[in-house]
Structure 1
Amino acid sequence: MPYDPLPDLAGMSLAEIAAAVEARKLPPVEQWAPSDTADSHMRIAADGTWFHEGRPIARPAMVRAFASLLTRDQDGQHWLVTPECKQSIAVEDAAFVAIEMSAQGDALAFRLNTDELVLAGPEHPLRAAGDPDVPALYLAVRRGCEARLNRSTYLQLIEHALAAGGDLSVVSQGARFALEPA
C-alpha cells in the first residue's frame, strides 16, 4: 500500500492536523503480552537514524512500521512488541525526533521524523531537560516514548514563547509547559 506523505505542517489547519492525528491507526501493542523476549539488534541513534546490525535502515516505510510497534517500559528500556515476541532496542537519546512545529489556535503541533503528527497537551506533554547551557526539550509521543526537538524545532518553539511575552513557557491545549530545565 503506497504511503501518502502529509503536507507541510504550516499549510494545515488545526482541524486538519487533529483529523490526521485521529486517523492514524496503530497496532494494539498495549493488548499484547508476548512471553518470548529477544534482542532486535537494532539501535536508534540520537539523530533519529535507525540501524539494524550496524547498518542504517534506508527505507522510511520500514522505520515507520517498526516505530508503530515501539514502547518503553518503566525502567526506560525500549521494546519492539509483536503478539509473539518482545525485542529490546537500544535508543541513544529519544526514540523520535520532532522536526517541525506549528502553532495553531490554542495548540502546538509537531511533525516527527517518522512523518507522524503529535499535538502537545495534557496527553502529550513537553519536558525540559539538560541544563541552561545545553537544554533539551522532549515531547511525549506514546507508550512511554518521547521525541527530542531538533535544533530548528527547538528554536521555533522558543521564538513562539518569546512572541507570546512573559516567561519561557508555552501553552498547548490548556496545559502550560516550561521551556527551561529546572
Structure 2
Amino acid sequence: MTAEQDDANRSLTGASDAQGLEALISRAARAGKGLPPVERWNPDFCGDLDMEIRPDGTWFYLGTPIGRMPLVQLFSTVLRKDEDGRTYLVTPVEKVGIRVVDAPFVVVEMNVSGIGDERVITFRTNVGDVVEVGPDHPLRFVDEDETGGLKPYVLVRGRLEALVARPVMYELVEHGEEIDVGGMSMFAVRSNGQVYPIMPMEKLRELSA
C-alpha cells in the first residue's frame, strides 16, 4: 500500500472498518432528496481506498466482503466514473478511488411489457436501481472472447453501467427478433422505440447449427 493509499484509508475510515466513510456518505446523502448530485461535486482527490467491486457485484473492503447490503447501497449512491476511466466514491469534500473488476452494478431482475415498438424492458440492479432500457439507459452487447459468449451492459447513470447477470441475459435474448439495422439482418431486442443489436443473424444461425 502506498502512503497516499494509507492516508486515504485512515482519513475516510478512521478504523479497521468503513464506519467513518459510512458516516461521511450518510451526511452527504441526507443533504438532498434522491441520489446525491455527485456529478456536480469537485472535491480534492484523497488517494485510493482498498475497496473493490467484483464481477458478481460483491463489494470488498480490505479484502473482506461487505456483508451489510444497506451499507453497499449507501456507497453505491456516491459512485462516479470519470473521464479517466476510473471509478470513485465522491462526497462534497473527498474523492477516493476504488477498483471495479467489471461493472459496478449487476442486473438481477427484468420485466418486459408491450410488444413491437411499444415494448419496454425494465431492469433492477443488485443495489436497487430500476431503469428502463431506452435513450437514457442504452443497452450494449460485448463479445466475451474467453468464452465465445455475450456480456450485455446497460447504462445506469453517469458513466456507470450494470452487467446483465447470465440468468437475466438468457431471459433477455428470448425477446430477441430479426430486425433490419442499416441494411443488415440482425438479431436484436427493442425497448422504448430503440433497437439494440445482439449479433448478425448469420452468426446466430452458425451458432445454432
TM range (shorter): 0.7 to 0.9
Instruction: Note the 1:27-176 alignment, pairs <5 A.
Output: 27-105=36-114, 106-131=119-144, 133-162=148-177, 165-166=178-179, 167-176=186-195
AA aligned to 2:37 is P
Per the TM alignment, residue 49 of structure 1 is displaced from its structure 2 partner at its CA by: 0.2
Q: How many residue pairs align between the two structures?
A: 157
Q: Output the TM-score relative to the length of structure 1.
A: 0.80
Residue number in structure 1 paired with 2:18: none
CA distance in 2, matches of 1:130, 1:90: 23
Per the TM alignment, residue 131 of structure 1 is displaced from its structure 2 partner at its CA by: 4.5
Q: Output the TM-score relative to the length of structure 2.
A: 0.70
Unpaired segments ≥5 residues, structure 1:
1-23
Matched position secondary structure for 1:74:
coil
Higher helix share: 2
Contact in 2 for aligned 1:78/1:89 (Cα 8 Å): yes
Unpaired segments ≥5 residues, structure 2:
1-32, 180-185, 204-209
- The runs of 4+ residues in structure 1 deviating greater than 2 Å are none
Of structures 1 and 2, the one with the larger relative CO (CA 8 A, separation 6+) is 1
Larger radius of gyration: 2
- Percent sequence identity is 39
Per the TM alignment, residue 37 of structure 1 is displaced from its structure 2 partner at its CA by: 2.4
